[in-house]
Amino acid sequence: MKRRRKKTAVKILLVEDEVGIATMIRRGLEGANHTVEVAHDGQIGLQMAEEETYHLVILDVMLPGRDGWSVCETLRAQRNRVPILMLTARDSVRDKVRGLDAGADDYLPKPFDFQELLARVRALLRRDKIHRTSLIKIADLQIDTLQRRVTRGGNEIKLSHREYDLLEALAAHEGQVLTREAIQERVWMNEEAYSNTVNVYIGMLRKKVDADHKIKLIQTVHGTGYTLRVPDPLVTEPISEATS
Ligand code: CA
């Protein structure tokens, strides 16, 4: 009887056009109990990474459709923080720097030994698990930054990509005032945005996050910007009789 090994929940996207190498990596990673999905084209790989949540992306540089640099840059521009390990035949310092500039987490020149790849994969998964705060909780608001999922009072709130980015930016700085400029820089980055864009998005976010709730978490700080926090009277410690 064939022994079936249970797969771990770790899901890896492998974008590699050389079928032989892709098969070798996939089999090896499956042997380490990971689930692996393969794309042989950069454009398809990018679409898969946009549509699915992976724990890690292994990304070849020279790809048909769209090269690995561009896939990596595009994902980072979308604020996708999935760990990315780049594979390339080019072992020059310049290419390595370019890969890291594009937002890759690590870089492995070809040809490589599979055990070396596996060691890098393990290190990246471990590092990601340690560094990523996956759940932000403020009052009854919960933000799962891994799944980009938001609930309030246990009910899921559907947000657009931008609305989510805006909420996460505010929540990650709970209690701090973020100016409109700081928000614009964080959420819209270098893109052109109208001067009232932030206000408009705050309005939409309030409708979805605060409108049906007594406690309003998104607050305007006049002349300055916005903050997300539990309103003051609710965080004030009750005065203890024993200390008075
Ligand atoms: Ca290639």
Per-residue pLDDT, 222: 87
In degrees and rounded to multiples of 5, residue 38 shows phi and psi of -115, 140
Alpha helices in the chain (DSSP H): 19-31, 42-51, 68-77, 93-101, 114-131, 161-172, 180-183, 197-209, 232-235
Q: If you measure from the C-alpha of residue 102 to the centroid of ligand 1, how many angstroms do you get, rounded to a whole number?
A: 18
- For 157-215, write each residue's pLDDT tens digit: 999 888 998 999 899 888 888 888 888 888 887 666 677 889 999 999 999 999 999 99
Report yes or no: 201 and 218 within 8 Å, Cβ to Cβ: no
Q: If you measure from the C-alpha of residue 123 to the centroid of ligand 1, how many angstroms do you get, rounded to a whole number?
A: 24
Q: If you measure from the C-alpha of residue 112 to the centroid of ligand 1, how many angstroms do you get, rounded to a whole number?
A: 14
DSSP one-letter code for 234: H
Q: Please, which pLDDT band fits residue 240 given cuts at 50, 70 and 90?
A: very low
- Helix, strand, coil percentages for the chain (3-state, nearest 5): 40, 20, 40
Report yes or no: 20 and 64 within 8 Å, Cβ to Cβ: no
What the chain holds in terms of domains, given with CATH numbers, is 11-131 (3.40.50.2300), 135-240 (1.10.10.10)
Q: If you measure from the C-alpha of residue 82 to the centroid of ligand 1, how many angstroms do you get, rounded to a whole number?
A: 21
Q: If you measure from the C-alpha of residue 40 to the centroid of ligand 1, how many angstroms do you get, rounded to a whole number?
A: 9
